[in-house]
């Protein structure tokens, strides 16, 4: 996971880099165009000034020809030649590249050229002038270096500002987040968020106030319901069960009446068990259990195995134990005991007579496997009231309770079917 600032900074830096990279050729084209326009203006001025100066000298034809010849020799980048009237054309501006053999045979220079007809002593002359343009490679290199320099400046400045600003701008948000982390719904204490002059953070705090108040209210209602249901519902169920037990002991009952009462007693027993399990699930969902006890898991597991020994013997099930000693964990002992009992009872229920159950415990894993014939339906495995076998004695909530207890302790439970064995693994 990445902080919010890094997620926003990275795209911004990538965008700036792309823009700056695109700007290099744009800078070059703009600078080159400006430079060419300046050279065109410079060449135009040189031509017009030269024509003006020759006309001001008022030389004879012979002197003029000698002066022009001398001019062409001492000005290697210009040339003035006499043309006829039918050779007169419009001005021509172009860029030319040529070798400079006196420097290097491989070196090429760019020149901005102008061909313009001028009049000296009212006779037409073709004036050609070439002016060297700055090296394009050097221009691109300089622009690129400047661009990279400013990009580095932007990156360094942005990272520095982000680090400085995040400490102050995001402080109210971090304070709110820290208070939410330590807030417990079961404590029902009013949470206080720090005041902020940022509109978005203040709106967030107000929304969290309303949400938490609503959740606290719902939590109180659910807790009161589970407590009331635990007392009020169990009492009449217990009374009805006692009455049915007394009725079953009545010798005046016919066989048909006895069977009816016995079926009613079984249904009532199952209803009572379902009610207790649903209340247990509700309490787990409402975080009404403490999970800070220090528990010797190996001792708790061995105790459950000893209590259920009679069930193993009834079905002639061989139990293989591989329990590491001194396994200490933090959690709720009542819930963990329920989880262990449900896992073992579930294994017993799905093991045929004469089968086997393997129980393994390490400091990071509790694994219970039992012999079986075919894989269980994993889609219905942890769903409430789902039936995985024809046994009607169960409430259909055992595996759901196991899963909720694992979630409560931040553990994970998984199921697999290997070598004709159902294997339930709890990663501690």
Where residue 23 sits, what CATH number does that domain have?
Answer: 3.30.450
Please choose, from the candidates 291, 292, 290, 284, the residue with its C-alpha nearest in 3D space to the C-alpha of residue 226: 284
Residue 181, pLDDT score: 82
Structural domain count of the chain: 3
- Confirm whether 389 is domain-assigned: yes
Together in a domain, 300 and 409: yes
First to last CA, the chain: 24
Phi and psi torsions of 34, nearest 5°: -60, -40
Together in a domain, 269 and 348: no
Check if the beta carbon of residue 151 is closer than 8 Å to that of residue 20: yes
Please choose, from the candidates 376, 374, 391, the residue with its C-alpha nearest in 3D space to the C-alpha of residue 424: 376
Residues 6+ apart with CB under 8 A from 223: 286, 288
- Confirm whether 56 is domain-assigned: yes
Together in a domain, 271 and 310: no
- Confirm whether 173 is domain-assigned: no
E strands, 285-420, in order: 293-296, 318-323, 328-331, 356-361, 365-371, 412-418
* Beta-strand pair 356-361/318-323: parallel
Q: Which domain holds residue 243?
A: 200-285
Q: What is the dihedral sign for C-alpha 367, 373, 375, 380?
A: negative
Together in a domain, 49 and 137: yes
Please choose, from the candidates 279, 398, 421, 380, the residue with its C-alpha nearest in 3D space to the C-alpha of residue 340: 398
Phi and psi torsions of 358, nearest 5°: -110, 130
What's the pTM? 0.51
DSSP lists the bridge partners of residue 331 as: 293
Together in a domain, 121 and 39: yes
Together in a domain, 301 and 281: no
Residue 394, pLDDT score: 55
Together in a domain, 31 and 141: yes
E strands, 167-297, in order: 293-296
**What whole-number distance in Å separates Cα of residue 98 and Cα of residue 109?**
6
Q: What is the mean pLDDT of each run of 10 residues along the chain (428 residues)?
A: 69 82 83 87 92 89 89 87 87 82 65 91 91 74 83 84 78 84 73 82 87 82 72 77 82 83 83 77 76 89 92 92 92 91 90 92 93 83 67 67 90 91 92
Q: What is the dihedral sign for C-alpha 195, 200, 206, 207?
A: negative
- Confirm whether 141 is domain-assigned: yes
SS3 state of residue 121: coil
Together in a domain, 252 and 235: yes
């Amino acid at each position: 996971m990445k902080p919010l600032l890094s997620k926003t900074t990275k795209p911004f830096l990538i965008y700036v880099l792309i823009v700056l990279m695109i700007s290099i050729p744009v800078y070059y084209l703009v600078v080159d165009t400006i430079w060419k326009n300046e050279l065109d203006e410079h060449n135009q001025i040189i031509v017009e000034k030269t024509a003006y100066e020759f006309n001001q000298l008022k030389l004879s034809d012979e002197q003029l020809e000698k002066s022009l010849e001398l001019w062409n020799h001492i000005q290697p980048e210009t040339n003035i030649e006499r043309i006829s009237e039918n050779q007169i054309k419009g001005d021509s501006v172009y860029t030319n590249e040529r070798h400079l053999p006196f420097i290097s045979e491989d070196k090429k220079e760019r020149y901005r050229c102008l061909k313009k007809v001028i009049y000296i002593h009212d006779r037409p002359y073709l004036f050609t002038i070439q002016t060297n343009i700055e090296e394009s490679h050097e221009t691109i290199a300089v622009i690129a270096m400047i661009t990279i320099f400013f990009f580095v400046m932007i990156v360094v400045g942005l990272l520095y500002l982000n680090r400085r600003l995040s400490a102050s701008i995001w402080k109210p948000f971090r304070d709110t987040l820290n208070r939410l982390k330590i807030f417990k719904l079961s404590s029902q204490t009013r949470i206080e968020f720090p005041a902020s002059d940022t509109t978005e953070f203040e709106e967030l705090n107000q929304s969290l106030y309303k949400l938490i108040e609503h959740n606290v209210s719902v939590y109180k209602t659910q807790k009161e319901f589970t407590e009331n249901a635990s007392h009020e519902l169990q009492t009449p169920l217990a009374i009805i069960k006692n009455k049915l037990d007394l009725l079953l002991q009545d010798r005046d009952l016919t066989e048909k009446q006895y069977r009816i009462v016995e079926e009613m007693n079984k249904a009532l027993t199952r209803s009572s068990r379902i009610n207790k399990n649903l209340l247990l699930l509700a309490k787990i969902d409402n975080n009404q259990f403490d999970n800070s006890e220090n528990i010797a898991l190996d001792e708790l597991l061995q105790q459950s195995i000893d209590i259920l020994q009679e069930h193993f013997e009834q079905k002639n099930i061989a139990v293989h134990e591989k329990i590491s000693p001194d396994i200490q964990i933090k959690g709720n002992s009542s819930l963990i005991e329920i989880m262990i009992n449900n896992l073992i009872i579930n294994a017993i229920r799905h093991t045929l007579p004469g089968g086997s159950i393997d129980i393994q415990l390490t400091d990071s894993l509790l694994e219970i496997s039992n012999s079986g014939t075919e894989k269980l339906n994993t889609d219905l495995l942890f769903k409430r009231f789902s039936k995985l076998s024809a046994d009607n004695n169960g409430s259909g909530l055992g595996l759901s309770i196991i899963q909720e207890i694992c979630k409560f302790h931040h553990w994970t439970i998984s199921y697999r079917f290997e070598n004709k064995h159902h294997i339930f693994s709890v990663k501690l």
